Structure 1
């Protein structure tokens, strides 16, 4: 055990000199303090300051070792934690105060720290004065002892020198002064002397360590080997060694790092060598260094990510340096070096003077500044930055320049400006809307924001609402007040689920009772706590009124549906009941339906007793009852007719004072009016629901009346369909259809056009009421002409409709229907296709276009007309087929008769000659000339029979040839036929001539056969030595089918034809021969053995197959002319 000094305080100051600078103040010294001053506790706290400005006070020693009392803790609360606080703290020393009857003192120990004393009795002023020099000497002694140990260690171990402490206690005293571990150890690793710091590190007492070896103190064998290796290196080198980063595991199992100084110690009496070591624990410093390095790396990354760059300038403002990040922020390369003037030029012109002034003040007076300004980058982009600057001073406080940062805050600033704009817009919006906006504390204690409409909404002043957010509660309707008050007073209702919604009535100071709706929403802060309540207040008086009206009208609407859907009621019964329902719903005594018959208004139905309401009689004459808007959604509402501006002065005196009604439209046309009225004016305006109810009644009447009208017209059209199906010709069908459009559908301008396939044109067939409407002659639409006109901007829609088969409604267009009337105009046209037959075109003389009902009914009519035309066409084809069959039967009978008579003649002649030959000659007889003559006569008969049969075959095959449609030049036909008759021309010495002939439509082979037969007849039946045949063109232009019919006596081709004459100078025929010329086997003179009688019938058959006509002009002894009408190629 160490002895405790007992010297008086003055002698103690002289003998020990100082007090310690660390956590291990000598307990003996502190005990002397305690004993001399009779203190309850005494302790030394050493001050440690780090380069980063942190100041800490650590307890180095205390008696008792762990003081624990309220006064002691109160004294420690004065110890500061930073440099600024430490300066104020040290300036305030000594500090004295009393806690729980115990006085505590804090006294300064120069260059060490503070001395803390707990004194039951107050210290005298003389004692405090005596402590001051004692404390100075304690501080000096601690500093001197630390230096003395170092100086003593330096020469230790030099050859021939030996250091021997005066005593073990003196060595113990010295090493106890050190806060860090200090020990003396021999060459075997045994500890001879150790201090408290070493014992604390290994969790042992000094007595346990002294005499123990490394193996007994240090847990790790690896660490033991490394430590002993260092010890032997010092002993063998006999000189001090600095060991950096020596690692040893402490009692807590933590590996600690030491920078250890080991020096040779005196050789012991038994010859053992020893070392003395001072171990400085740098574990925390190393950790701080590593942390500092990590922090430095982190700071660099943060600077880069946060766009912060540092800069500094000297005191003269001439040398400016900055980091690369500054270059990046201002848009320059890292190599760019700028002067202060050039750097200031980067500032936006509008902000530059502010920064220049701040910089000048900084350089002149050392005043810091922090500004947010705009800069202009090298690419002329304007960006926001933050510039901060602080003065720089050396250790003596001399100004040496300035340093600061540049931070890119463009994105943040942009967001701030955007938020500012949003805030400004919100405030403008909140100030303009009719809703009340408020922001209130969650406990309704403070109004944070209110827009102008909020106070107006509650009927209180803005000041009252600002002072008390619930100032309006006293204005709440008595029936609602308790409910509203509970909502605001219990459990913060707006914060329970985040929202609150309340509807209530409030007695507004200007507007009486109004319905309000408050919706509040809890706005949370980052911690999830309610920061404030955002509320919107809306005046819902109108909405509640409408809800009441809707509820009131619900029963009426249900009743309306029940009446309208009751199939047991007639239309008239439904109409009367709905009028009564309307009166009941509107609270008006009269309801009536008027019909406009053109010349007069008729009262159709009425509810209520009034002199002017006589069903079947004239409707009330007042203007509102008879003149309503034609719009289906227009309601005329007059609460007081005497004040209504729409009733002109001097008009018929109104029958009623109050009126609500609208026009009833039937298929888009005005039917009349539905009215509800009262003899007295109405105080309140008609509501929207009341108007809507009348609209429903008007629509129902319109639908019902439209259905009745359509049903009537459909019955009429059904009757028209019966007449159309009975009509036999397209003309009759067209007449019935146009008459029906005028009489039933009341569309007087209706026409029908037939499609002419040969002309490729739409030809007018019939027109209804053309004279009455002023429509002039109907046009013919020719495709080629109309398509050409359409390309020039004219109306060619008729062909579009005909080709597509789709209806088309067209506005006014004079190219379809024209009118000569000055008072009547055709405003729109409806074109409907009739399949392949043509078109039905209707024109409207009304200002409006065709209604959908008119269109649908006209489509029904058009479909019926198309079906009738199909039927008529089929019947016409049937009649034509029947006529063709009858003609074929006649020809067959004629053919049979001819076959039974004319074909027998050559057979009979051949049989007679052969019979005579048989009678005159026996087998084996020699044949003479007579025999050969008989055989020749028999052979000639058979040859003639063959010719007759060939002619019949040609005649019958004509119909099997396809319909002739090719253009054929008739010049070449005549030339080819003439060439085919070259032998006949040589035999007869005849000639064939022709005019310039046109192009016709036909089959070239059949036409050559036709002409060849006619030319052959002319050459064969001549009256002189030189037969002449001439083919002439009777007219340069084609003739119409009607002209052909007149010329032939009934044969009417389908198209225009060219008239060609084949004239000869032959013997001619008498009229009787002409009439039989086209009979089969009829020959010109029965003695003519050269013919078969099939030539002219064959020619007739060919011409008819081409759709043409044929006739004969002949005079006996003069010659014959055969007239041919052949279809023109372009017809």
Structure 2
């Protein structure tokens, strides 16, 4: 055997030795450059290293759970150069290994591996295998000897531990792993050192461990290094002949695992302690092994040692003979049907002690739900049972007490709020006897109102509280006392309630309280005090006496009270007291008491009483200050109102607003005697309060003048409509120190009354009320005067409105007359004449005429007139020879021209002198304009200045609109035969014309066919490209701003397009002014247009329109003809609907009636965005109308 093979074999030997420890294999080779597959006895892969997947191109985790044969056959064999050599079974995979060439694929690289197979004979994987794949690529490529580098890489990254290799001389041959990161030694310092020289850990134990391992024994020990708990496993390394040549050691940090184990032990000890404290133990019966297991507490409850081996029968035998049958039946139901139980029974312990226990049993099932045993608990409840017995005895004692309690009712309630004992005389409203209450809950046994009162208090007593309270049940009053009842150990086990009827007692106390309360209220409300005068000079006060006199409570000296009496009133009080004492007269005196709040009036009454204790006087004193003031105020009010009534009766009715203001100032000054009084009235023109009247006294202070809106007291009182009292310093400029207070009282919206006091005088409520009454009277007078003025203005306005109504009626009559004349007019001359005659009928118009332009707009020719112009129209020219007359000014500006006074222009315009000479003093001129083209001017004159207001200007504007519209109607009203036309031919080379732009850009010839549709903003016309590229024309049209939309009309080969073109557009302008477009062709050189006009129509509007729109258009020729190209369609189109005409027109010019058709019904439908049947219906209706027009004698021709 070669050295190379020997080294590889020695590397594999430890694996064979360690195969019995699967966890060790995973830890050792999980991150090494050696691929390992671990298989259990069932030939199932339980673990696969990442290197296996890397070597053969699969996910190692997916191999876990797969059969070993499947992994070898499907995932490893296909990657080999010679797959037939790879064994599928255990045969041929000996520990010596076999080399295989792994081919490169998309998931793995090319390499050489040696396969070692190992049988596992011991441990959890006994009967399984470990397959090891070692990368030997470098050896096969360079033929260099194998060294320990591969294992060094493996051991350097050994997780959470260390791997060491010790030779027979007890020297570390290899020491690697992450454990060294926390030790003072490093792997390099350990390698080569003797085990006994390394200081970390227990050296003696390590030396002994390795000696035993070198002797062929695998050893596992635990040690502590640097506060970490380590597990140290050593295994012998054998040579080929079986002799041990080295020892490999694997050390892992198990500190965390040890901590978890300690926590588990603590939890178990805690559970054991809890069971002991609660006297609860657990038991378990396994039906499969027929074994019974007890916890330590169960042994203690039965007074048995823990080495006692219980059985089901022996366990049941411990139950008391009287309870054993019940327990046996419960256990039998649990074992047979899985029925749980919870019983309280007696047992007899091993020491013959009888104990009460609570035994609970529950079924124990496996994962499939099958009953495999029973589990439960057993609790020692002997103490509780003893307490319950004592409690019952205590209840019996209380029951005896309760049943014999005198003069009341007593009840004992348990923890569940149920009556256990009731005695004495219960509450009548309970409607039940004591015996009927026992056993029932308080809430259900009593009426709801009584239960609502008692239940919360019984609950509080059960919580240890004492409750005493009163309550009314029906018409009776009761006092309740509820207290807790405690056992010998102080625990509350019941509550005792006692009730007593206190109705009579409560009634007496309530009546006494009410009497005292009524007396107290009476004294306070009437501000009355009670006093008792004893021994001549000792006074005992009650009630409000001390407050009334302003002395300290408890003051009893008569002199102290006498000192508070006003000096002027004291003699009367002293005389009254003397008379009562000496003569027995009744004491009854009203006097003033001086206090810090000013003088107060009091009324004192008293009487001398004689008794065994001697003579004393008892009396009452009442504060009558308010009454005194009310009496004074009432007297003052009556006086002022009487004076106001007299003065008002003498003053009314007032003749003017200033007279009202003066009256108010004089009355307030005379009735109240204030230092200053004034009235300020709101001025509508200036928007401020202006002085209207003021005090006449020369000594009166100077008050402020006009008051502007803003933040000042006078304006604020006026704005809010509320009376206000201010300090005098806030009024005026603050320079009049004599002013004490100012009172401002609004007079509605008309103004304010201002009154001021001087010295120490202040306004009282009576002053305010009475001045408000006077101001209200003044407001009424102002309002009456204002109403009279408004009534006069309304009467004047109504008269004016009536005049305007009459004018409107006249205007309406004129408009109706003009409408009739227009409707009856058969010619332009009749129309103009009728309009002038009807306008002359209106009151302000004395002369009216209509002028039509002959060449330029200002070259007007009178065509109709009405009224007497006094030769004015003949004396002035309308050709601008003498300056522009008003009509020419309106024609030039195309806007209404109005002149309200002709005489103002005499010096500047010659026509004005002629007009004034003819008696014409005002004029209005309205131009007749359509589509910015002047058709004429309507001029009206009046002999009155400023005669044409907005009403007549609107009338004339409406009339000119009617004239223009009906003139166009007359131009289109053609006879069916003998028509004469004027044919005009134009040449256009304007780039703004859309078809000209398209023809130039596409170098094409475009023929205009017809207008298919029109809206207020655009027209849809059909054009045919006669020469050039129609596709290019369509493309240019779609990019032209004035073309809204462009599409093919019909088939492409016919070259016809549908163009939506924005207005204005030449063909629509021609039609608008009465013409018909006969022909139009556009090339890159220009556009030729032929237009026909009725001979009776003026060509000027049309020429003005198109020449203003297209400056580069030239008139090439004009000719008279009686039959223009095309048939007269007026009669026919009048009978067609707009949609019928549009579709018929598009069908004709689109080639629908040609053979073959250039457009189909579907093309027309798509073009007009309607359905094909709708197109068909429109065409049929149009055809029927055409045939009726041609063939029907009523409409068409006769042959």
Answer yes or no: same fold by TM over 0.5. no
- TM-score, structure 1 as length reference: 0.31
- TM-score, structure 2 as length reference: 0.29
